[in-house]
Structures are given as structure tokens and as C-alpha cells.
Structure 1
Amino acid sequence: MMSQINLNLLRSLKVLLEECHVSQAATKLNITQSALSRQLSQLREMFADPLLVRDGNQLVPTPKAVSLLNKLEHWFVELDELMIEAEFEPSAWKGEFVFASSDYVAQYLLPEMVEAITVKAPKVSIKYCLWQPSLLGEMANSEIQLASTMSPEPPKGVSSWQIGEDYPVCVMKQSHPLSEKSILSVEDILSFSHIKVTGGGDKDTYIDQALAELNQVRHIGLKVPFFSAAFRSLSMSDYLMVVPEHIARNMKNHFDVVFKPLPVKTPKHKYWLLWHPKFDNEPSHVWARQLVYDIMNHSEYSIGYDSES
């Protein structure tokens, strides 16, 4: 029977039982008296009870109607609370926020994110995961709520914001044999072994694709998952390393390195914050991703930071 009752009928029943007067109830419900009379007939049939019986000029509720009114008043209070979404308050947030990125973001940007989040949301739990491109297709069922990654186009199947873009460059130690050259040749970058950072997704695929078109392959002398280990090794050897320009520019402040434009044409690197659409309107996620976006655009380690501004 309950499957036949819509919300409008229940609300009409509640007002009818409160007013015990069809015309007054109709006015309160903003419907015609005849429409409300038809609804009352439906309700009587559904509940197998007259609900309201006439006594002279009055309508008197039956015992069943009194019982229904008590239940409806409680039920509509809960329904109204359900329909009114409470304003999100970061200081009361006790959930878990799971963020994924490359090792570079984890080392140089994550601490700023953690500080900013925990200052305003001290009860939240933050979990970090190392991002890999294979995780993109698993976002619907993954614990990862927000991720930063590189992609030539907006990632499909997820919501995203573009953070920025730049080109890959060639990095070397300050005293490297090629450091005095303003323009590198293909022969130059093939004359030395390279370091490849494996953690967090490909950041040097474009150079390999460009070299492949020339039937050339660079020699990878060292593979490491961490940028800190890669740059320390770079500054103590004659290795070369191809990384996005913003990373090279920022690492120059921490290591004795220089970077040069590549001698081959490559596409731009494009950087994104991405999340599954199920989080589009979730208040805590809306708040957290805006905070992360702002940091990733304005931190001194980010793609969008201008050190001269």
C-alpha cells in the first residue's frame, strides 16, 4: 500500500488532520477544495479508515487518524532535516581525505597541503598515495579522492581542472661538460647517460618519442622512483635528466644544477587535478580540492608560481 502513497498525499493528510477543515487545509496547501476532497477520498481508501468524520459542522479525527498525525509530524520533521543540507564546517570534518600524486608533489607540495588542511580541519585524516597512470580507470572504486597528474588532454571519465603547462628540458650539474653550451644538439644529449624518474608516471616520454622519430635511443643509466634521489645523483655525476621545466627551475634552488632547452620539438606537458564525478558536489571534497588547487597554483614549487612576481 505504501508504494501507492506519494509525498503530496501524505503532506495533504498531515494538514487535513491538523486543520480538521477541508477548505482551510486547501488554502494552506494552495490547492482547490475539490482537489483536496479527492485526495481525502484516496487517503480513506488507502488507509481503510474514514480518517475524518463529521460531527455537526466539525470534522473529527478517528483514532487511527490521531495515530497517523503523530507519526506524520515526526516523519516530516526528519524529512525536512534531510532536505536541508547542513553547511559544511571544516573544523567539524572527521572524514578521510586521500590524495595521490608524483613523488615531486609529495615532497615539495604535500607538506603545504597538509598544513593548510589541518589548520582549518584538524580532525580530518589525510592519506597519500603514489599516483600511476594505470589508476585513472579505477577512480570510481578507488579510495583516491583527488589526484594530480600529467596528460596531453583532459583525462576521460573523470572531472578535472588544469593546473598549468610547460615543456620538458634537459638538466645537468653546474660543472657538466655541456653546461656552458647555450644550445644542445641531439648528439649532445645522446653522448651521456640519463636518469629516469619512475615514480608517479612518465615525465620524459616526449623526448623518447622525438628521438625515436630520428631512429635514436638515449641510454638510461639510472632509474629511481624519487626526485630527491635523482637530483642528488645528477649533481654528483655526468648524467643528464629530462624533466618538466617547472621542476627543473625549482630544483635549481636546491641543487647545483642548470637546465637547457631540448634540441627536439616536443608537445607541452599539461598538468591536472582530477577526481571522480561522484565527488563533484560533495561539500568536504569541494572545499579540499579548492584548497589544493590554490596551493598548486601559488606555491613556490608549483607550475604556476612566478618567482619574480
Structure 2
Amino acid sequence: MAEDAPFALYACTRRHAGNRLRYDQGTSPPDFNLLITLDAVLAEGSVARAARRLRLSPSAMSRALARLRETTGDPLLVRAGRGLVPTPRALELRERVGQLVQEVESVLRPAEQLDLKRLVRTFTIRAREGFVENFGAKLVARAGKEAAGVRLCFVQKPDKESTGLRDGSVDLETGVVGTVTGPEIRVQALFRDRFVGVVRKGHVLSKGKITAARYAAGQHVGVSRRGREQGPIDDALHASGLERQTVAIVGAFASALALVRASDLIASVPERQTGVLRSGLYTFPLPFEAPEVMISLMWHPRMEADPAHRWMRGLVLDVCGGRPEKR
């Protein structure tokens, strides 16, 4: 194969496919800068004035006009007395070219400042149970006050996969960053949460000093989306030489607290995420060292610079408390 074959193969692959521009072997791609030159020439009707508009020398403008004539196959401007007049082809192109140049300029122009009063958009937030109950009302109120055209859509979070963020069906996600969270996902800490114990009012643990031994002696409801019998609370108890009896396992904190309301079971749940859900129940600090969890805000990097998305991220950070550094 000849030495220049790779270049020939590259050129051969640049053919039209769908809406993408591709070019056959031996065909040079068009110089889109000529559109700007053509727009200036047709708008000014003078090579000299077009040169001044584009800050080009008269000779450079003449060369550009020669290239335009060669590319379009039309003289475009012809002399009439001391001036130049457009050809029928030039008149045909003038409006189209002007629109094209305006569209290109709008594409390349920096994003305009966000006008919240005119913003109309739906933001989808994926979170575990407790987020809407604890933060939803304040978040909706803040969003409505600043941007009346914004709607919030809260969806359940059955797993830690990043599919929704990647395909754009989810704008923001809250929760604990897991091993299956995509490495490209942007993450910013929202708050740390500690586990607390919860029982119904009148439960034996609602009276007297709660020790690790008293806590472990009761019957417990565990929370695991995958139905696991052991978790971080059990590991912390084992470190103290204790073991609890888990008689029920549910997949959500709300379900665990519902069981607690109607029984003598003990639940251990994250404090901030279940604040509203624990209303009417007796809450106590765990009498042993238990791990904290970091709740984070997550989004896809393609939304990083979007002004409206940045505003919504800031709103969630304010409502949930603080703006720690992002990774």
C-alpha cells in the first residue's frame, strides 16, 4: 500500500452520514469563514467597506472575494459605473447567508445570563425516601419564589447506578456515593448524617438510661434494599462484643419506622434524612460508636456549565445545608 494510503482511507471515510458533513476523497471541506466574508460583502455592497467591517486589508478582501466567486461559481458583485451591484445569485443568497451567520454567532457566543423570571424547565431529582419529606417542601418553595416557571419532579432511588444521570432522564441525584457510581459523575457533599435509634413512645427504651446492652437486647428491624441481614450497625455492635436480634428486614427507612409505630421493634436510621418520618416517635442517640454517612449531590459533567442547572444545584445545597468543596 502506498505511503499516503492512510490519508486516502481517512478521506474516503468522510462521507455524508445522517446530518453530519463528510467529504469524499480529494474533496476539501468548505471554508466556513467565507460565509462571514460573503455576509459582509453582500451587506455593504462594497469591497472597501466590507474590508473595514472585517478589519482586513483591501488586498486580503479582494482575495477573499475571488475565492467566493470561485466557490459559488458566480461573480456576486459586478461593476456598474463607479460602484458595484449584486448579481441575482447574490440577492438570492443575501438573506440566507445573513441568517446563517447570526445562527453561528449565537452558537459560539457565551451563554447568556440566566433570567430566572423567564425560566421554564422541569428538574428531575432522584433520591431515597425521606428526602422529599424533609427537604421537598422548602425546595419547592424556594424554587417557586425565584423561578415560577420551574417544576420539580422527585423520583425514587432503588439503586446507586448512574444510568439516569448519563442518559439525561435525571438532573440531580442525592445519596451515598457507591462503587457503581460512574467515575465521571460530579459529586458535592451535602451533609453528614448519623444513625439514631427509634422506638414508639412508651417503649421500655423510652425510659431510663440506654446502654449498648439494653439496645442490643431488644428486637430490631433492619433496613437493606438487598435484604442483607448484617450491616454497619451490626459491625459497630460486634466491636463492643454485642449482637442484636433482627426479626424483620425492610427495604426503606419509612417502612422500618412504620413497623416501629405499631410494635416494640427498634429501628436505627439516619437522623437528618428521617426527621419528618420520625414525628411522634421516641428518638435516642445510639449508645455506641456508629459510622456516619456522607450524603452527596451528584450530576453529570455535561450539565456542569448549564446556568439553570448551576442555579438548581445551588438551591439544593442551600436547602440541605452548606456548600462544601466538590470533588
TM-score w.r.t. the length of structure 2 is 0.73
Take 1:123 and 1:249, find their aligned partners in 2: how far apart are those partners? 29
Take 2:226 and 2:49, find their aligned partners in 1: how far apart are those partners? 67
Residue 50 of structure 2 corresponds to residue 19 of structure 1: no
Offset, 1:51: 1.9
**Amino acid corresponding to residue 47 of structure 2 in structure 1:** V
**Amino acid corresponding to residue 75 of structure 1 in structure 2:** L
Do 1:95 and 1:125's aligned partners in 2 also have CA atoms closer than 8 Å?
yes
Counterparts in 2 of 1:248 and 1:124: CA distance versus 1, 3 Å: closer
Do 1:248 and 1:259's aligned partners in 2 also have CA atoms closer than 8 Å?
no
Q: Which of 258, 261, 265 is residue 239 of structure 1 equivalent to?
A: 265
Residue 191 of structure 2 corresponds to residue 167 of structure 1: no
1:97-116 equivalences under 5 Å are 97-116=123-142
SS of 1:103's partner is coil
Post-superposition CA distance 1:67-89 (Å, at most 9, x none): 22232223334444555545444
Do 1:101 and 1:130's aligned partners in 2 also have CA atoms closer than 8 Å?
yes
SS of 1:117's partner is helix
Post-superposition CA distance 1:157-177 (Å, at most 9, x none): 312221111332333345443
**Amino acid corresponding to residue 159 of structure 1 in structure 2:** R
Structure 2 match to 1:38: 63
Post-superposition CA distance 1:177-225 (Å, at most 9, x none): 344565633x4443222123457999x9422344566897533223445
Offset, 1:251: 6.1
Post-superposition CA distance 1:231-283 (Å, at most 9, x none): 3532554322222243577666x2241312342x4443101111222222233
Q: Which of 205, 209, 216 is residue 190 of structure 1 equivalent to?
A: 216
Q: Which of 133, 150, 159 is residue 133 of structure 1 equivalent to?
A: 159
Number of aligned residue pairs: give it. 294
Structure 1 match to 2:175: 149
SS of 1:151's partner is coil
Do 2:134 and 2:274's aligned partners in 1 also have CA atoms closer than 8 Å?
no
Residue 310 of structure 2 corresponds to residue 283 of structure 1: no
Do 2:160 and 2:178's aligned partners in 1 also have CA atoms closer than 8 Å?
no
Do 1:102 and 1:201's aligned partners in 2 also have CA atoms closer than 8 Å?
no
Take 2:291 and 2:80, find their aligned partners in 1: how far apart are those partners? 85
SS of 2:161's partner is helix
Stretch of structure 1 that moved more, 71-80 or 104-113: 71-80
Do 1:102 and 1:199's aligned partners in 2 also have CA atoms closer than 8 Å?
no
Unaligned runs of 5+ in 1: 299-309
Structure 2 match to 1:158: 185
Post-superposition CA distance 1:82-115 (Å, at most 9, x none): 5554544444444332112121112222122223
